[in-house]
Amino acid sequence: MQTVSCPSCGAPVPFRSHASVLAVCEYCRATVLKEADAVRDLGKMSEVLEDYSRIQVGTSGVHGGRSFTVVGRIQLRYDAGMWNEWYLLFDDGADGWLGDASGQYVLTTKRELAPGFPAFDAIQVTRQYDIGFGPYVASDKRLAKCTGGQGELPFRVGEGWEARVADFRRGPSFATLDYSDGTPPLLYAGNAVSLEGMKCQLLRDDEQIKASAGKYRGKVDVLQCRSCGTSIRYLPGLAANCVCPACSTRMDASSPKVEVLLKGEEHERVQFTLALGSVAKIGGQTYTVLGAMRRQDDEGESWDEYLLYSTQGPFFWLVETNEGWSRSQVMDDWPTPPLPAMHAVQVDGVSYERTWEYPARVSYAAGAFNWRVKAGDVVQVTEYEHGQNGLAAEYTVDELSWSRSSPVAEDQVRSWFGLAEPAGRKSDKKALTQGDIAWRALLWLLGLNFIPLIFNFGPSLFFIFAGLLALFLPMFLGHPKQ
């Protein structure tokens, strides 16, 4: 490790990695550039926005049998949201990156770029490309600006620095072509990971996060709409793109200074089965409904989707259609092949058949989301089914994602949220039960009265039928409609 003096304040600035060329002084935020025989001050580096990540400079873990330590970070923002890239130093001297977006993580290391790579402008999301080790599908293509940083980094970043990146996926594998410095791009490859799977140590706890961000990570907070004053429950740092349920004003609450993205107009609120802020007990964990949106296909059929979050679990969606409920979660391990144009795809050795293709348009959105959403947003959807379980590919010109869903009984949803039975359902069940009892009683009477008929076909036959009719007719006329 090399330590230099900050040219701005004189504080010690450590460089743990020989590959690092830049570090941010933790005392005065000066950007320190390390050159062959000197260091230079490149000016102040912006603070990262409200920091709710459990990761911090100094966090350690193990991946692929190699230990690593987090030594730096940049924070990147694009049109639909933001994410962190943590710079890692492995004990053997190699380095890598840990992407951190909405509680999902990918770890990549630099790889040798093979010839035949695509130009940035030529990359089309949902198409396959051979980027040096087999076909991967383009899953994401974006321009992003660096909004803050800390620790040490292997390249120069500063005000106005822009990342031009394209992401690719195959199963759990992940790769990035980074065109930020032009052509040829840099290639990074790896796979989806979890902090628990990497046995991460020195993660920040709730108190440390509150000390730096002013709020606890994962604890639902309340924001007052800057336009009409309506209260909106949101999740600071994770689901902080808010849409007012009263006036549709869109806000970015990822930093202490809430930014109004677009003012809306008051209109009649859409009624949802699950209200924003509703709390559910699912698998022993407490989940909160943060956002709700209504979507519609090209034939006018609509359905509702609810974003749920727990401090102990990942985001997931509850989807309500006219056919019932389902639970849906974004996938880290993608189907093979991961192309929405295929007639069949496989997950865990199980084949899913394509069933539907349609555009899905957001007709109404309210609450908090982990990306920017608004009425009018359209994505293309391709659905696949295997039995009662389903997969869905959703894509635009910039992004492709896959999710997996399974059915949930309506009674189960009501049990989770402690909801009462719909009006009329209990009385209907009661009436139906009484009718069943009446009909069973009739069958018993018919059976008992049929016995004498076997042995006696005399004048008593008329009286038996008359008695049965007297018993049967009032029940028939009074039996409730089904």
Domain boundary among 140, 165, 193: 193
Among residues 174, 193, 212, the one where a domain terminates is 193
Cis ω before 459 (30° cut-off from 0): no
In a domain, 248, yes or no: no
What 8-state DSSP symbol labels residue 281? Answer: E
Tell me, what's the pLDDT at 170? Answer: 94
- Residue 10, SS3? coil
SS3 sequence of 324-363 = EEEEEEECCCCCECCCCCCCEEEECCEEEEEEEEEEEEEE
Clarify whether residues 291 and 429 are in a common domain. Answer: no
Least confident interval from 105-109, 143-147, 258-262: 258-262
pLDDT of amino acid 384: 97
pLDDT of residue 236: 77
Residues 112 and 62 in one domain: yes
Residue 179 forms part of a structural domain: yes
Given a cut of 60, whether residue 301 has pLDDT beyond it is yes
Q: Which two tokens stand for residue 310?
A: 């727990």
Shared domain check, 344 and 280: yes
47 and 77 part of one domain:
yes
Token code pair at residue 57: 């400079």
> Does 200 map to a domain?
no
**What are the tens digits of pLDDT across the range 451-480?**
555 555 555 555 555 655 555 555 555 544
Task: Look at 153 and 213; give whichever has higher pLDDT.
Answer: 153
7 and 104 assigned to the same domain? yes
| Two tokens, residue 107 | 């770890």
Task: Give which of 282, 277, 194, 204 is closest to 239, Cα–Cα.
Answer: 277
Mean pLDDT of the chain: 83
Same domain, 371 and 439: no
Whether 220 maps to a domain, the answer reads no
Look at the chain and report how many structural domains it folds into. Answer: 3
Judge if 369 and 471 occupy the same domain: no
CA dist 318 and 321 (Å) reads 10
Classify residue 450: in a domain, yes or no: yes
Residue 451 belongs to domain spanning: 425-478
Chosen domain end from 396, 417, 438: 417
Same domain for 370 and 437, yes or no, is no
> Given the structure tokens 């909405």, which residue do they identify?
102
Of 51-55, 149-153, 306-310, 442-446, the least confident: 442-446
Same domain, 393 and 463: no
Q: Do 437 and 395 belong to one domain? A: no
120 belongs to a structural domain: yes
Share of the chain above pLDDT 90, in %: 48
447 class by beta-carbon count within 10 Å (0-12 exposed, 13-18 middle, 19+ buried):
exposed
- What is d(CA 10, CA 72) in angstroms, rounded to the nearest whole number? 20
Tens digit of each residue's pLDDT (9 = 90 or more) over 176-206:
999 998 999 999 999 999 999 999 999 988 7
What pLDDT was estimated at residue 332?
A: 92
Domain check: are 377 and 429 in the same one? Answer: no
Q: What's the rounded Cα separation, in Å, for the pair 160 and 42? A: 13
Q: Which pLDDT score, from 0 to 100, does residue 256 have?
A: 60
Angle between helices 460-478 and 425-455 (to 10 degrees): 170
Q: State how far the Cα of 462 lies from the Cα of 388, in Å rounded to an integer.
A: 56
Q: Specify if 87 maps to a domain.
A: yes
Residue 432 lies in a domain: yes
Q: DSSP 3-state helix, strand, coil percentages of the chain (rounded to 5)?
A: 15, 45, 40
- Reference 136, options 144, 121, 125; nearest CA is 125
For residues 169 and 27, membership in a common domain is answered with yes
